[in-house]
Structure 1
């Protein structure tokens, strides 16, 4: 009998290539799963860090807020504070205002944003700075000194304010979506956020921190 020539047959080569392809595919799937897990974990850690930083910042500035000139709605709150964080310091006359805003981009993404506003200087010929705007309820023009996104990629963001009201000779505390400028500043401020991972426990701030 003739001995079979040394080497592999075509069928053996096809089987070996198929097995090698399966091993490579499984390895790629495992690697992709590991990368996805790492990205989700990193994103979750970054979200928690952003939330903690925003929480500390709002707590610090709100605890030093001034009694006058608080503008509050469900989407934003604006006030002057004696505890302004960052490179801009509030002057004695309160030249700087801070605004926390639930902003929405064109693609529907919601974010918690912080802006610092200063009185805009008059321009020659009555022109306005392109970054200037009017503060609601005030006959003054303010310009944006600084803006930053504190918490990006939110599904929901809203403010609420606890204020007592009189009802049938009883004083009842009620969460409201808006506080007029002429009213006293709210006793408590509540910020509710929701991310893709679910709702976050509401953050509540008092005037004294």
Structure 2
């Protein structure tokens, strides 16, 4: 696969924007996609929301550049490179990392483009943080939901193991709820069969 990490699209975005011209977002994405060799196979890769992965990553690269005031945003979905963006491009000719952009912005009196205060991490957390920094915020959120789901699964199984088998088989109240109904609901959510709209109507 030739899809870059999101921050690796920042320099191609700057290079793709014509000088002194405003470019529509969808056209910018296609210019970057062509310049970075996005294939037809790459276009078939999607994030869970249904958006193509390459579109999501190029969009986040564009968003961060705008937050760092390296792109002008005269109207919705329209972008243009400015003097600060050209300076960033000239300073980083091979690749721009998120840390590079943050430091560049701060050196010019602009707050961290991520908008999130960095916290101290222990060695294990620092490793996870480094891995997740390569994901877009959308992908980080999806990863977090997967972890949360896994944690709930483990907790549920542990609770079930601590109940008497007869209660499990009969579906009688245990630990304040009906185990069978809980399992059915849980499995529906896990398999993607749960319909939030239907649940809302049932309330």
**Structure 1 length normalisation: TM-score?**
0.25
Which of the two has higher C-alpha Rg? 1
> Which has a greater percent of helix?
2
Give the number of the structure whose residues are more often strand, by fraction. Answer: 1
